[in-house]
Amino acid sequence: MSAGPASTVRLTTAAALLRFLKAQRVRRDGVEDRLLHGVFGIFGHGNVAGIGQALDEEGGLPHYQPKNEQAGVHAAIAFAKHTRRLGVMAVTTSVGPGATNMVTGAATATINRLPVLLLPGDTFANRWPQPVLQQLEHPSSMELSVNDCFRPVSRFWDRITRPEQLLHAAPEAVRVLLDPAECGAVTLCLPEDVQAEAYDWPAHFFDERTHVVERRPPSTEAIAAAAALLKAATRPLLIAGGGEHYSDAFAALRALCDGTGIPVATTQAGTGALPADHQCWLGGLGVTGTACANAIAREADVVLCVGTRLSDFSTASKTLFQDPAVRFVSINVNAFDAHKHGAVPVVADARLGLGALTEALGGTRYALDATRAARARWLQERAALCRPQPSGALSQAEVIAVLNERAGPSSTVVHAAGGLPGDVHKLWASVDARDYHSEYGYSCMGYEVAGALGVKLAEPAREVFALLGDGSYLMMANELVTSVQEGRKITVVLLDNHGYQCIHNLQRGCGGRSFGNEFRARVDGALAGAPVAVDFVQNAASLGARTFTARTRAELVRALDDAQRERASCCIYVPLEEPSRLPGSSWWDVPVPEVSQQPEAQRARADYERALHKRRFYH
Ligand SMILES: Cc1ncc(C[n+]2csc(CCOP(=O)(O)OP(=O)(O)O)c2C)c(N)n1
Ligand SMILES: [Mg+2]
Q: How many whole angstroms from 89 Cα to the centroid of ligand 1? A: 26
Q: How many whole angstroms from 356 Cα to the centroid of ligand 2? A: 46
Taking the CA of residue 580 as reference, the ligand 1 atom at the shortest distance is 21
Terminal Cα-to-Cα distance of the chain (whole angstroms) = 55
Q: How many CB atoms lie within 10 A of CB 590?
A: 13
Residue 43 to residues 40, 121, 338, 486, 508, Cα–Cα distance (Å): 10, 10, 41, 18, 44
**Contact 419 CB / ligand 1 (< 6 Å):** yes
Taking the CA of residue 504 as reference, the ligand 1 atom at the shortest distance is 19
Helices 166-178 and 13-22 pack at an angle, to 10 degrees, of 40
- Alpha-carbon gap, residue 167 to 160, rounded angstroms: 10
**Contact 472 CB / ligand 1 (< 6 Å):** yes
Whether residue 469 is predicted with pLDDT greater than 80 in this model: the reply is: yes
Whether residue 76 is predicted with pLDDT greater than 50 in this model: the reply is: yes
Q: How many whole angstroms from 201 Cα to the centroid of ligand 1? A: 48
Q: How many CB atoms lie within 10 A of CB 201?
A: 22
- Alpha-carbon gap, residue 64 to 594, rounded angstroms: 50
Whether residue 579 is predicted with pLDDT greater than 90 in this model: the reply is: no
Residue with CA closest to ligand 1 atom 10: 418
Model confidence at 578, pLDDT cuts 50, 70, 90, reads confident
Taken in order 459, 464, 468, 474, the sign of the CA dihedral is: positive
- Alpha-carbon gap, residue 409 to 74, rounded angstroms: 24
Whether residue 3 is predicted with pLDDT greater than 60 in this model: the reply is: no
Identity (one letter) of the amino acid at 356? A
**Contact 417 CB / ligand 1 (< 6 Å):** yes
- For ligand 1, pick from 445, 505, 527, 590 the residue to mutate: most ligand atoms within 8 Å of CB: 445
Q: Which secondary-structure segment (H or E) carries 573?
A: strand 570-575
pLDDT tens digits along 593-612: 999 999 999 999 999 999 99
Q: How many whole angstroms from 417 Cα to the centroid of ligand 1? A: 6
State residue 5's pLDDT score. 56
Q: How many whole angstroms from 418 Cα to the centroid of ligand 1? A: 4
- Alpha-carbon gap, residue 588 to 423, rounded angstroms: 15
Residue with CA closest to ligand 1 atom 3: 445
pLDDT tens digits along 7-30: 999 999 999 999 999 999 999 999
**Contact 574 CB / ligand 1 (< 6 Å):** no
State mean pLDDT over 444-450: 98
- Alpha-carbon gap, residue 38 to 35, rounded angstroms: 9
Ligand closest to 517 (CA) is 1
- Alpha-carbon gap, residue 610 to 619, rounded angstroms: 23
Average pLDDT over the chain, rounded to an integer: 97
Residue with CA closest to ligand 1 atom 16: 471
**Contact 396 CB / ligand 1 (< 6 Å):** no
**Contact 497 CB / ligand 1 (< 6 Å):** yes
State mean pLDDT over 89-96: 98
Model confidence at 516, pLDDT cuts 50, 70, 90, reads very high
State residue 424's pLDDT score. 98
- Alpha-carbon gap, residue 444 to 425, rounded angstroms: 16
For 549, residues 6+ apart whose C-beta sits below 8 A from its C-beta are: 537, 555, 559, 572, 573, 574, 575
Q: How many whole angstroms from 409 Cα to the centroid of ligand 1? A: 28
Model confidence at 1, pLDDT cuts 50, 70, 90, reads very low
Residue with CA closest to ligand 1 atom 4: 445
Whether residue 239 is predicted with pLDDT greater than 90 in this model: the reply is: yes
- Alpha-carbon gap, residue 403 to 557, rounded angstroms: 8
Q: How many CB atoms lie within 10 A of CB 335?
A: 11
pLDDT tens digits along 277-321: 999 999 999 999 999 999 999 999 999 999 999 999 999 999 999
**Contact 49 CB / ligand 1 (< 6 Å):** no
Ligand closest to 477 (CA) is 1
Model confidence at 490, pLDDT cuts 50, 70, 90, reads very high
Taking the CA of residue 420 as reference, the ligand 1 atom at the shortest distance is 21
- Alpha-carbon gap, residue 500 to 506, rounded angstroms: 10
pLDDT tens digits along 182-238: 999 999 999 999 999 999 999 999 999 999 999 999 999 999 999 999 999 999 999
**Contact 418 CB / ligand 1 (< 6 Å):** yes
Pairing of strands 8-12, 198-202: antiparallel
**Contact 105 CB / ligand 1 (< 6 Å):** no
State residue 4's pLDDT score. 52
State residue 577's pLDDT score. 86
